[in-house]
Amino acid sequence: MVFLQPLALLLLGAALVPPLLHLFERHRPPDVVFPAVRYLRETEREAQRTIRLQHLLLLLLRVAAVALLALAAARPVVPARFGAGHEPTALVVILDHSLSSGAVSGGVRVFDDLEARAAETLRAAQPSDALWLIGADGVARRGSREELLQAAAAARPEPVRLDLSAAVATAARLVRASGYARGEIHLLTDAQRTAFDAPDSAAAGLPLVIYEPAADPPANRAVVSARASPATWLAGSGTVAAAIGGAPEPAGGRVAVTVTLRGREGARALVAPRDVALLPVTAPAAGWSAGEVSLEPDELRADDSRPFAVRVVAPAAVSFDSAETGPFLAVALGSLVRAGQARPGSAGAVRLGDGPAAPGGPAVVLPPRDPVQLGNVNRALAAAGVPWRFGPRVEREDTLAAPLVPDISGARVTRRYRLDVPSGVEPAGVLARAGGDPWLVRAGRTVLVGSRLVPEETSLPLASGFVPFVGDLVNRFARGEEGILEAAPGTAVALPDAVTGLAAPGGAVRRIGAERRIAAPQAPGVYFLLASADTVGALVVAPDPRESDLRRATAGELAGLFPGARVSVAASERGYAAVRFRGAGRSELTGWLLVAALLVLALESVVASGALERSP
């Protein structure tokens, strides 16, 4: 409590006046002749106790009245929870209706609890407040109280992940930019540990009220990963690798996993949580297929199944000269041939070497062993209609970044040729970069690699993903296939240049224009990538596996995630109501004190008039 006029507290000394007057009043009263003194004496004897109590009560009331008036003059100010309202506040409510909020905990859906708290807070807002609501998509929406109440009521658990650290940072920016002297951020969440990033001081100095449900989270199990292995199946059969996540089962507990492909149920297996199940599946006819790996239902249904995509093809025919490819690539190709994922061939075969194939034919072009031949190779590429060229030699250690080719991401490159296109030509078809420069590109059915696949130039031949990468080169990239993309609902995804449409699981086709980065669809499933009428790849939209880990951050951990912020963590409706707007405003108690003083004075006059006098 603070006082706006602290000097007025000196008036509290006036509270001594009533007792002093009371004492002076006892001194030498005047004599009055009165015959019926005996009646007075009798009355006083019977009413003496009442009179003393009445005098004491009067004295206390008068002291209280003076003290209340003195306090009112000092204009005390207290936190808003003691007053009728709060100062105008910039209020940001973050309603976490991500996938995990659909879990049922303690018989109640977590989201329903969070939505009720959000509605309470919005209803407590005043017209003078600035209000925002941040939902699971992380977008801040400003609106009136009624508009945001409607938005909160319309929200439902969605199969997306909300980065709570980023949401709080966004809220903090909004509060700071609002121009309001007071601000408050309310984070209504199930407080998953995985929903937070590293500690962020963006909200330093601001009140951050975090509400989390009191009930413990359920023991959730989820399919956190489902992929065809390998990504392209040869005719016959294939395998689906499914990773099971969530809370560990009790000792010896396993969960039943089922794989379904093209609507037909395939293999079943019992898998321990945190293990990976390899589920054999009979390959359907050649072409693209969508499937699903599922578990028995539990308290969080949205992560009990996960889609996957697979393409079934005939093994690619390859032709190569080991003198051009080097020994490592030759060995890898030999392994593929032996595994039945490639076959030796000539007509229509994928040519691997330092030159393009016959016009229109598939080829993987490597830099020539002799740099002198580089000009010939570039001329041959130009003759084949390939816009890419081998540019200057770069000898520098770089790391490969290949979102479309996960097997080679992170590999080191020490020597390479920069891959260029003539000026005025759009550099399309980049599959991987090294040091920011294109390193693996594709133009039609011709693939260019910036380095020879030997340990002197890249660590890739020594990596475990080398053989699968080579398999992708001959079975996917050289065949014009775009591969399988994975994305969480709503996240940004970069589409290959050739893609012109997106076919939803129900068959609806969304046309893709010039934009290459789109937001992944919200509904999980397999979306096929179309190039004109051809299916060239698939986009598998599945929930972020971090949403399946329902373990919560403790109050201490939450406070530590937002250093400098005034964090209040509430786990009950009452506790949350108690901290709501506590740091956002203050109220002046002058009015209340004046009302109290008036009431005390009214009571004093009632007592003084004898209304409370005991009737004998």
Partner 1 sequence: MASATGLTRERLDLLDPHEVSALGGIELVAEGVVEGFLAGLHRSPYRGFSVEFAEHRPYQPGDELRYLDWKVVGRRDRLYVKQYEEETNLRATLVLDVSRSMAWSGDPERRLTKLDYATRLAAAIALVLLRQRDATGLIGFDDEVRCAIAPRARPGQWHLLARALADLAPGGGTAAETALARVTGLLRRRGLVVFISDLLVDRDLVLLALRYLRHRGHQVLVFHLMDPGEIELDAAAQARYVDPETREGVVVSPRDLRRAYRATVDGVVTAWRRALMSGGIAYHHVSTDTPFGHALRRAAERRARLG
The binding site for partner 1 (CB under 8 A) comprises: 25, 29-44, 46-47, 50-51, 54-55, 608, 610, 613-616
Phi, psi angles (nearest 5°) of residue 122: -65, -35
Nearest distance from residue 11's CB to partner 1, in Å?
28
Nearest distance from residue 12's CB to partner 1, in Å?
28
Question: What three-state secondary structure class fits 142?
Answer: strand
Contacts of 338 (CB under 8 A, 6+ apart): none
Nearer to partner 1, 46 or 197 (CB): 46
DSSP for 478-530, please give it. GGT--EEEEE-TT-EEEPPTT--EEE-TTS-EEE--S--EEEPPSS-EEEEEE
Nearest distance from residue 610's CB to partner 1, in Å?
6
Quote the CA–CA distance of 156 and 287 in Å, as a whole number.
Answer: 36
Nearest distance from residue 614's CB to partner 1, in Å?
7
Nearer to partner 1, 52 or 142 (CB): 52
Find, among 453, 447, 407, 410, the residue nearest to 430 by Cα: 447
Question: What three-state secondary structure class fits 574?
Answer: helix
Quote the CA–CA distance of 531 and 528 in Å, as a whole number.
Answer: 10
Nearer to partner 1, 20 or 32 (CB): 32
Nearest distance from residue 59's CB to partner 1, in Å?
13
Contacts of 209 (CB under 8 A, 6+ apart): 184, 185, 186, 187, 568, 570, 576, 579, 580
Quote the CA–CA distance of 168 and 581 in Å, as a whole number.
Answer: 17
Given the DSSP bridges, would you call strands 316-320 and 342-344 parallel, antiparallel or unpaired? Answer: parallel
Nearer to partner 1, 45 or 338 (CB): 45
Given the DSSP bridges, would you call strands 534-541 and 509-511 parallel, antiparallel or unpaired? Answer: unpaired
Nearest distance from residue 84's CB to partner 1, in Å?
39
Nearer to partner 1, 42 or 397 (CB): 42
Nearest distance from residue 32's CB to partner 1, in Å?
4
Nearest distance from residue 14's CB to partner 1, in Å?
23
* Tokens representing residue 132 in the block: 């925002």
Nearer to partner 1, 39 or 278 (CB): 39
Nearer to partner 1, 31 or 426 (CB): 31
Query: Across 147-286, where does the E strand assignment appear?
Result: 182-188, 207-211, 221-229, 232-234, 237-246, 255-261, 264-271, 276-282
Q: Which residue has the tokens 């003290």?
A: 67
DSSP for 35-51, please give it. TTHHHHHHHHHHHHHHH
Nearer to partner 1, 252 or 610 (CB): 610
Nearest distance from residue 28's CB to partner 1, in Å?
8
Nearer to partner 1, 594 or 608 (CB): 608
